[in-house]
């Protein structure tokens, strides 16, 4: 009886699924177009292969980047408002204790960590999801500091000036890419999570 | 000959493996995931630039870019100043940047140079370099930010542009100022930026007459806008209400180009 109830219970509410997939779209467009913009004047001694980039040329990449930023910004805002407003944010991700993270990390590395309940995150998941939410906020703030370094002096100073804002923006992007790789690998290992993110349960 | 005791566990293994495999294959989620993975692969193929070539997509991007012009105009604070720097912080040498190489920089003769004034202005008399140098001058050390992402700090001297606009009796309620340049470049800016206290009709670089590579006889310097909005070798200025576009802007760079 209880298993039937569990099966029918919604793991991810509809607003979460919509914002998740819109965020995925926005983030992919922003990363690929951002790589093209990076290539115009690289901060580090390497370029991203142009076949991996979006936009065709710098002007096109900028158009994609500055179009998708609206989706990322407003979708992210809606996600945060719903998440905090419904209390889901605290229920799902907290408490987040370092000892739990260590314990679950060791379990995961020794292959003993189970994805037993989709609606409950283990400590490593909690840390990963909270980190990526904060990382996306940092990406938006550092991006605004680059886009409008004169109009947003506070953000500019917070980032340590225009040039360091670019480095912060790049590093936050690298973290996001690393997260996506691990995230997709984990979904491939536990495909039920993908179903839950698509149909809610 | 294989011993019976060895055969049985291996048979059991095979059976259990097949059973597991059958169960795994039956999971609809597996197939669904494979399907999604294929779609993700398809998406990554598109990034080559297939979607960028679609006229409708370009039209949408162009419309969003026009909307971003509006948002930037709204964000623009005409009293907010760009940070200024000390001489020690200057980028030396200040980089040369144009849509052509440094050996193609136009050589404009300063002695017979005349700045043409057009459009919604009371006094359309052209200006010689001498007359421009006699106007009140100021100096600023500001950061030039390129659309490519790099930036450089330079020291620029010249006439506050708002002062010049008032001198020629420009209609300050007009929407645009258009600049035509001696290097076949052109760009245009919004009136609030034109009137910004740091927008300067630049005649000198680092205390010297503006060198050809930085835009002799003069450029427009705006620390509130990206580099491509700062025209060099200006030969004519027009005050207008008709959207003038620009060299890079017509190819897809954002028109407002603020920073």
CB contact under 8 A, A150 and B36: no
CATH architecture of A2-199: Up-down Bundle (1.20)
Q: Is a pLDDT exceeding 60 seen at residue A6?
A: no
Establish if B48 belongs to a structural domain: no
User: Which residue segment(s) compose the domain that B172 sits in?
Assistant: 87-101+112-251
Helix (H) or strand (E) holding B157: strand B151-160
Per the structure, how many domains does chain B have? 1
Chain A CB contacts of B63 below 8 Å: none
pLDDT at A118: 78
Kindly give the confidence (pLDDT) of every residue in chain B, 259 residues in length, as a single tens digit, with 9 standing for 90 and above. Answer: 444 444 444 455 666 666 666 666 666 665 555 555 555 555 555 555 566 678 899 999 999 999 999 999 999 999 999 999 999 999 999 999 999 999 999 999 999 999 999 999 999 999 999 999 999 999 999 999 999 999 999 999 999 999 999 999 999 999 999 999 999 999 999 999 999 999 999 999 999 999 999 999 999 999 999 999 999 999 999 999 999 999 999 999 999 999 9
Neighbouring C-beta atoms of residue B126, cutoff 10 Å: 13
Structural domain includes residue B32: no
| Cα–Cα distance, B246 to B251 (Å, whole number) | 8
Residue A160 in contact with residue A85, Cβ under 8 Å? no
ipTM, 2 decimals?
A: 0.90
Residues of chain A with C-beta less than 8 angstroms from the C-beta of B36: 194
Taking an 8 Å cut-off on Cβ atoms, the answer to whether B61 and A59 are in contact is no
* DSSP line for B242-255: S----TTGGGTS-S
Cross-chain Cβ contact A54/B145 below 8 Å? no
Where along chain A do its domains lie? 2-199
Supply φ then ψ for residue B149, to 5 degrees.
115, -25
Among A200, A62, A76, A61, which Cα is nearest to A135's? A76
Q: What is the CATH number of the domain that holds B132?
A: 3.90.420.10
What's phi and psi for B58, nearest 5 deg?
Answer: -65, -35
Contacts of B43 in chain A (CB under 8 A): 28
pLDDT at residue B6, as a whole number: 46
pLDDT of residue A112: 80
pLDDT of residue B93: 96
Enumerate residues 33 to 52 of chain A having a beta carbon within 8 A of any beta carbon in chain B. Answer: 37-38, 40-41, 43, 51-52
- The residue-averaged pLDDT of A153-169 equals 97
Q: Do the Cβ atoms of A151 and B258 come within 8 Å?
A: yes
Q: How many contacts, defined by CB atoms under 8 Å, are there between A and B?
A: 105
Six token digits for residue A113? 């960590």
- Give CA B156 to chain center in angstroms: 20
Residues from chain A contacting residue B31 (CB–CB below 8 Å): none
pLDDT attached to residue B7: 45
- C-alpha span between B93 and A65 (Å, rounded): 31
Q: Which residues of A touch B140 (CB under 8 A)?
A: none
Give pLDDT, residue B8.
47
CB contact under 8 A, A52 and B49: no
Is residue B215 in some structural domain?
A: yes
Q: What is the DSSP letter of B175?
A: S
Instruction: State residue B39's pLDDT score.
Output: 57
Q: What is the pLDDT at residue A120?
A: 86
Q: What is the pLDDT of residue A2?
A: 47
| Residue B106 resides in a domain | no
Residue B157's region, left for phi above 0, alpha for psi from -120 to 50, else beta, is beta
Residue B213 included in any domain: yes
Tokens of B177: 């100022």
């Amino acid at each position: 009886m209880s298993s039937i109830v569990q099966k029918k219970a919604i793991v991810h509410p509809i607003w979460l699924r919509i914002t998740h997939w819109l965020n995925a779209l926005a983030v992919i467009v922003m990363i690929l177009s951002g790589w093209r913009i990076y290539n115009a004047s690289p901060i580090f001694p390497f370029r991203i292969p142009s076949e991996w980039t979006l936009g065709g040329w710098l002007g096109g990449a900028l158009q994609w980047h500055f179009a998708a930023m609206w989706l990322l910004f407003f979708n992210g805002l809606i996600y945060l408002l719903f998440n905090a407003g419904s209390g889901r944010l605290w229920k799902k991700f907290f408490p987040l204790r370092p000892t739990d993270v260590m314990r679950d990390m060791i379990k995961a590395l020794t292959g003993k960590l189970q994805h037993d309940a989709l609606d409950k995150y283990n400590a490593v998941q909690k840390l990963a999801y909270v980190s990526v939410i904060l990382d996306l906020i940092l990406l938006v703030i550092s991006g605004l500091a680059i886009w409008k370094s004169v109009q947003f002096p506070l953000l500019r100073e917070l980032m340590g000036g225009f040039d360091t804002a670019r480095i912060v923006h790049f590093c936050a992007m690298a973290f996001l890419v690393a997260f996506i790789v691990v995230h997709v690998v984990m979904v491939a290992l536990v495909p039920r999570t993908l179903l839950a993110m698509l149909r809610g349960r | 000959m294989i011993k019976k005791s060895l055969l049985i566990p291996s048979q059991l293994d095979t059976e259990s493996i097949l059973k597991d495999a059958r169960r795994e294959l039956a999971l609809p989620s597996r197939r669904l995931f494979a399907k999604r993975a294929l779609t993700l692969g398809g998406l990554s193929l598109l990034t080559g630039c297939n979607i960028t070539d679609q006229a409708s997509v370009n039209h949408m991007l162009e419309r969003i870019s026009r909307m971003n012009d509006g948002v930037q105009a709204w964000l623009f604070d005409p009293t907010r100043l760009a940070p200024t720097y000390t001489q020690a912080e200057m980028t030396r040498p200040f980089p040369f940047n144009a849509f052509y190489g440094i050996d193609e920089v136009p050589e404009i003769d300063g002695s017979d140079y005349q700045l043409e004034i057009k459009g919604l202005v009371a006094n359309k008399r052209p200006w010689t370099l001498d007359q421009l140098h006699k106007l009140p001058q100021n100096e600023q050390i500001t950061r030039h930010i390129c659309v490519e992402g790099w930036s450089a700090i330079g020291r620029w001297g010249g006439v506050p542009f708002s002062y010049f606009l008032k001198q020629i009796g420009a209609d300050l309620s007009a929407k645009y100022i258009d600049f035509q340049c001696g290097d076949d470049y052109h760009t245009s800016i919004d009136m609030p930026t034109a009137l910004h206290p740091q927008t300067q009709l630049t005649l000198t670089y680092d205390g010297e007459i503006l060198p050809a590579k930085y835009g002799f006889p003069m450029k427009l310097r705006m620390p509130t806008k990206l580099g491509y909005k700062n025209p060099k070798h200006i030969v004519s200025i027009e005050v207008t209400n008709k959207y003038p576009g620009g060299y890079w802007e017509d190819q897809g760079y954002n028109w407002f180009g603020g920073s």
